[in-house]
Structure 1
Amino acid sequence: MAEHLHSSTLSASGANQPIPFLTLEQKAAFVFVLLLFIFLGLLIVRCFRILLDPYSSMPSSTWTDYMEKDTFDYRIA
């Protein structure tokens, strides 16, 4: 009997109240934070890839030109 009385008071009081949704500002903040987490994840992946193989991210022309200059200097001597 007490359960029936309790459930009827809850359903009667909650029937006319709409479910509160997120406001526009809260939705915008949620999307902004989600984009920041995605950006952070991409940066973390990029940093780990650079740490695992640092020479693959560097263009080969920067270090091959330097090596060619060294070999040319050795040819002169």
Structure 2
Amino acid sequence: MSIQHDEKGQVVIGEAALALALSEKEISVNSLITQLSRMEMGCVTNDRIQSIANARDWLKSFEHPQDVAACLPYLNS
């Protein structure tokens, strides 16, 4: 299932973004991936670990800005 349709993945990415914002750090694809890795280290449930891994894998598909525009054409509007 795509993370775009996975509520848990969206929530996990939101948690990572909020943690970065509260720490006054840059929010980018790379910083989100790093933050998700940090979050994963403190996990105790397999479900949460899987949600974080799925979110991180999805974000990795957008590591190159030119790829984002090609996959998400509505961003070009």
TM-score (norm 1): 0.28
Higher relative contact order (CA 8 A, sep 6+): 2
Bigger Rg over Cα: 1
TM-score (norm 2): 0.28
